[in-house]
Structure 1
Amino acid sequence: MLSFSQVNSHSPIKIKKFLSCISNHPTYTPDNSSFTSILNMHIQNKRFKLETTSKPVAIITAQHESHVQKTVTCAKSNAIQIRIRSGGHDYEGLSYVSDVPFVILDMFLLQNVDVNVEDGTAWVQAGATVGQVYYNIANKSKVHAFPGGVCITLGAGGHFSGGGYGNLMRKYGLSVDNIIDAKIVDVKGNILDRNSMGEDLFWAIRGGGGASFAVILAWKIKLVSVPQEVTVFKVKWTLKEGATDIIYKWQQVASKLHEDLFLRAMLTVVNETVQVSFIGQFLGHTERLLPLVNERFPELGLKQSDCIQMPWINSTLYWAGHPIGTPIETLTSIPKEPMISYFKAKSDYVKHPIPKDKLMSIWDLMIKGENIWMQWNPYGGRMEQISPSETPFPHRAGNLFLIQYYMSWKEDGIEVANRNIKYLRMFYEFMSPLVSRFPRETFLNYRDIDIGVKHPSTSDTLDMARTYGGKLFKDNFEKLVQVKTRVDPENFFSYEQSIAPYSY
């Protein structure tokens, strides 16, 4: 990555003109005493918090839609790239790091959530976290919710535009399946809604990654129904206790269980062995849950004493790892600087159960790697019923579950980082015959630059984009390119894994 001094010397005249253009807007430059704290406030991966990491020319903390419009027009007229950041959870830091002169357009102050229970909708600004979305819905209704992620500090702008994956997906699909309107700023600085942007662009930003096409200002979401109380539970098994047999059976049944039940498998290394935690959420009471599970999956050993009933809003805190009894106001709090570690993540889709002998090999690799863990997230239910072309998100019927691989470490130093990343890549390579193929499918929101990148300043970006585009979007990639060509032919909205127009 370029250092700030390298970026700053790259095009000083254009940078000076840009800063003059936005001089009356909330802007932080490296000379400002608050620059570092604003920059670090939403850096979620310590790999991109180093002195050697490229720094922006400026950070614009938009407080009004007009600030977004001005940032786009000023950046475009001076050929300066923008990186759009809402929650800062991009695993590869692409929302706040670049190899070319860039500014960060920070959306985190645009946090309004306007819930209308009467028509079952809400307008959510891009800087609102999913925790704030959940909190504001619960303030208006105990029987409404929205399908989104379990990490409550995710920013709505990026999370929803990449798909929005969560524990209501088997009942209601993804976030993008429940978005009915949007407000954006296009490449010309215009504010558009669904009607004025057109159906093709509205289709593209719901799962194709909004930052390839425009700046998302707000989403209009459709609320979904939940009972006044849901049931959550966690059941843990180790290898000595028979976890291999249980996870093998989980692969066969998790996607076929009742759509009201989401049963994640979390695989971690504990005391030099693998522990599998089955974490569940059921849209109903324990009395209805137990027969459903014990009939199809008795190996889990679920007991009434494992189950806890609570309002849906409290379950969002449970899934985020907070103790039972945590005040729901915690959903609205955002730390001034996140507690972060170094990490690298990858993803896979699984279409056939992984055989037991391969599971044993996986356990060995996990134990040797020490710092690696996996989430296995089940499919089925509503995800089987939505066409793969309904939105750009193509990973629908035919999948048993989605894997998230996650390698984290606390030690500083490039050698430690390289060793851990190398090990995760080796693990991923081992998994290749066990997961989807031709293409090997990948989830956009679990950002992974290993699947291919393009340099934003090169001219042959479309061919480069195809290397990752097919893995992320499958047959939807070409339609995304068509939309990109129409709305941003000069490729202003560009980053390492963005959609490129045909002219590039």
Structure 2
Amino acid sequence: MQAGPIDVVPGDDRYDALRRGFNQRWIADPDHVVVATTTDDVVDALRRYLAPPERPQRRITVRSGGHCYENFVSSEDVGVIIDVSQLSGVHYDPEMAAYCIGAGATNWHSTTHLYRPTGLALPGGSCYSVGLGGHISGGGYGLLSRLYGLTVDYLYAVEVVTVEDGRNPQVTIARRDSPDDSLVDLWWAHTGGGGGNFGVITRYWFRDLPSPPSQVLVRSVAWDWKGFLERPDRFRQLVRRFGEFFQYEQAGEGPEFIRRHDWRDMFALLKLTHMSNGKVGLVIQLDATRDDSVARLKLFLDWLTEGFRSGGEGDIEETPLDRPMGEHPAQGALFVPTRLPWLTATQSFNDSGPNRCGKYKSAYMTAGFTEHQIEAILRNLTDPDYRNPDALLQVDSYGGAVNDIPSDATAVPQRSSILKLQYQAYWTWGEDANGDGVYDYQDAEIDPGIADYHLNWIRRFYRDVYQPTGGVPAVASPTLPLPPPNTDGCYINYPDVDLSDPELNTSGQPWHQLYYGKSYERLQQVKAQWDPYDVFHHAQSVRLPGDDS
């Protein structure tokens, strides 16, 4: 392999692949892509970028896995992309007394390279190809998070290439217990402050990582939309009770069966697809080493679907989840409750979906759904003027161990949330707009209507759900009407530039309040210390103090 940084320039066979990420909406035209194989390569790339006496006219950006949902990494104003995907090593560092993972490692790297030799795991996401550089720094979570918390709850140290003077890059290691307060602040900023803000992350170190259950119980079920269209009250019940379950569990209230058991080991994903998909899905994972797991799984499902099956006309039956939903593949084989080794089960969920275009939105929820929200969800998922089987609202269980950490201990302030929502719409170009005989991104440039069809729907959907709080999942605030909303802002790892649009966000709460809440002021101070020349920036990067844009 070539020593030193590898520059991929226009004309190189690799260039077209490396100038884009997972979301095919966003394609850059950089002068070059730097494939870094060491931290020194990152230093060299930054030094060359900053060498001209005049400030570069185009941005420098960083990619690990390439899953940025917006155009923060790949866009027309990008001159250089630093690709750190080769920095993917996983090893124990005796000097740090911690496990070291490269920022270019993916979720699957961390899963296999940690668990196989050590039996330990990060409680990270289920999409195998997501890079840890952005996943961890944004407060990544996954199917183990209700049991063990967020990835950043185990972060001990981070290596970042910073440019304090705006000219000369240096390698900075920030630890949780650094004697220098500014280094502690830099470490803290990487516990949920998001990527692309303070420097180029090259390595992470973790301590006290948990051991996942040796066996897990998994089940995937689905219900035909036809039944819900005939009995919309049953759809309302499913959504209402899913939210109520985790609200009751957190509060120690509700039905006796919820209060009697410990549910932290259960992670559930409710996939509320558009009706054109044909089915609504649910994926559940529990700790199978517990003797009560099979019984608890049945209790949970029976309560969600109470009255669905009465033996008469209009019954809504459980069916296999036999089709893709969002970023997860069909799970028909898991219709029967199945006990699997944790690693095997993780691999069965490990998918990112096909390469396509997408738009995403998010919300944290501190309580179950309001009736307004349930009606808006049903209304938009049954919109007859929109047909897309790959459009959905995925409702992830949250809470549990996530709620044990104080809101200011990390840069993730949403420590009282019980649900995390992912609004998703996927599409392919589907039209040969430029007449060259193929479908590709150039067709979308000719005909913006290809994307607008999907963007308009997901924007209507989101604004409808959160209409009482200005079209966004607002943070509880004295400026909002009482009672306080059941929402707590948005997830920075599902970035959404619409939050910056005053026509779409009329809440009076800026995008940074929705992402960061009270953490934002401290993040701005870290920015002023470590990137005062704003070398690293994008449409929703942390701003310098005094910049309210």
Task: Give 1:320 shift.
Answer: 2.0
The separation in 2 between residues aligned to 1:382 and 1:120, in whole angstroms, is: 24
Task: Give 1:144 shift.
Answer: 2.2
For 1:69, which of 43, 60, 77 is the aligned residue?
43
For 1:425, which of 452, 455, 459 is the aligned residue?
459
Whichever structure has more helix as a proportion of its residues is 1
The separation in 2 between residues aligned to 1:436 and 1:296, in whole angstroms, is: 27
For 1:44, which of 15, 22, 28 is the aligned residue?
22
Question: CA 1:112–1:321 in 2, change beyond 3 Å: closer, same or farther?
Answer: closer
Task: Give 1:246 shift.
Answer: 2.6
For 1:234, which of 212, 220, 233 is the aligned residue?
220
Partner deviation per Cα, 1:277-325 (whole Å, 9 max, x = no partner)? 2211112347421333445653246999732111111121122259xxx
In structure 2, the residue matched to 1:106 is: 83
In structure 2, the residue matched to 1:389 is: 408
Query: Does the 8 A contact of 2:133 with 2:202 survive in 1?
Result: yes
Question: CA 1:202–1:430 in 2, change beyond 3 Å: closer, same or farther?
Answer: same
Question: CA 1:221–1:419 in 2, change beyond 3 Å: closer, same or farther?
Answer: same
In structure 2, the residue matched to 1:364 is: 379
In structure 1, the residue matched to 2:129 is: 153
1:352 alignment partner AA: A
The separation in 2 between residues aligned to 1:339 and 1:252, in whole angstroms, is: 33
For 1:342, which of 349, 357, 363 is the aligned residue?
357
Percent identity over the alignment is 25
| Residues 1:29 and 2:59 are matched in the alignment | no
In structure 2, the residue matched to 1:199 is: 184
In structure 2, the residue matched to 1:136 is: 113
1:379 alignment partner AA: Y
TM-score normalized by the length of structure 1: 0.81
Query: Does the 8 A contact of 1:115 with 1:137 survive in 2?
Result: no
Query: Does the 8 A contact of 1:159 with 1:445 survive in 2?
Result: yes
2:43 alignment partner AA: Q
For 1:473, which of 516, 519, 522 is the aligned residue?
516
The separation in 1 between residues aligned to 2:152 and 2:42, in whole angstroms, is: 23
Question: CA 1:421–1:126 in 2, change beyond 3 Å: closer, same or farther?
Answer: same
For 2:75, which of 97, 105, 109 is the aligned residue?
97
In structure 1, the residue matched to 2:396 is: 377
Task: Give 1:360 shift.
Answer: 4.2
| Residues 1:190 and 2:188 are matched in the alignment | no
Question: CA 1:339–1:251 in 2, change beyond 3 Å: closer, same or farther?
Answer: closer
Question: CA 1:28–1:225 in 2, change beyond 3 Å: closer, same or farther?
Answer: same
Helix, strand or coil at the partner of 2:454: helix
The separation in 2 between residues aligned to 1:217 and 1:173, in whole angstroms, is: 23
Helix, strand or coil at the partner of 1:47: coil
Structure 1 alignment gaps of length 5 or more: 1-22, 323-337, 455-465
Helix, strand or coil at the partner of 1:298: helix
1:27 alignment partner AA: D
Helix, strand or coil at the partner of 1:72: helix
| Residues 1:441 and 2:445 are matched in the alignment | no
The separation in 2 between residues aligned to 1:132 and 1:28, in whole angstroms, is: 24
For 1:307, which of 313, 337, 344 is the aligned residue?
337
Task: Give 1:37 shift.
Answer: 3.2
Question: CA 1:203–1:361 in 2, change beyond 3 Å: closer, same or farther?
Answer: closer
Bigger mean CA deviation after superposition, 71-80 or 125-134: 71-80
Query: Does the 8 A contact of 1:489 with 1:503 survive in 2?
Result: no
The separation in 2 between residues aligned to 1:103 and 1:453, in whole angstroms, is: 27
For 2:449, which of 407, 410, 415 is the aligned residue?
415
In structure 1, the residue matched to 2:480 is: none
In structure 1, the residue matched to 2:325 is: none
Question: CA 1:57–1:228 in 2, change beyond 3 Å: closer, same or farther?
Answer: same
User: RMSD across aligned C-alpha pairs, in angstroms?
Assistant: 2.9
2:162 alignment partner AA: D
Question: CA 1:297–1:356 in 2, change beyond 3 Å: closer, same or farther?
Answer: farther
In structure 2, the residue matched to 1:495 is: 538
Query: Does the 8 A contact of 2:64 with 2:134 survive in 1?
Result: yes
1:258 alignment partner AA: W
| Residues 1:217 and 2:202 are matched in the alignment | yes
Query: Does the 8 A contact of 2:24 with 2:355 survive in 1?
Result: yes
Helix, strand or coil at the partner of 2:525: helix
Query: Does the 8 A contact of 1:343 with 1:408 survive in 2?
Result: yes
| Residues 1:320 and 2:294 are matched in the alignment | no
The separation in 2 between residues aligned to 1:96 and 1:137, in whole angstroms, is: 31
2:531 alignment partner AA: D
In structure 1, the residue matched to 2:264 is: 259
The separation in 2 between residues aligned to 1:59 and 1:232, in whole angstroms, is: 41
Task: Give 1:59 shift.
Answer: 0.7
Q: How many residues get paired? A: 446
The separation in 2 between residues aligned to 1:373 and 1:56, in whole angstroms, is: 33
Helix, strand or coil at the partner of 1:469: helix
The separation in 2 between residues aligned to 1:321 and 1:123, in whole angstroms, is: 25
Helix, strand or coil at the partner of 2:196: helix
Question: CA 1:485–1:355 in 2, change beyond 3 Å: closer, same or farther?
Answer: closer
Query: Does the 8 A contact of 2:4 with 2:37 survive in 1?
Result: no
Helix, strand or coil at the partner of 1:417: helix
2:273 alignment partner AA: T
Query: Does the 8 A contact of 2:361 with 2:496 survive in 1?
Result: yes
Question: CA 1:281–1:120 in 2, change beyond 3 Å: closer, same or farther?
Answer: farther
Helix, strand or coil at the partner of 2:412: coil
The separation in 2 between residues aligned to 1:31 and 1:295, in whole angstroms, is: 59
Task: Give 1:115 shift.
Answer: 4.5
2:414 alignment partner AA: H
1:370 alignment partner AA: R
Bigger mean CA deviation after superposition, 233-242 or 220-229: 233-242
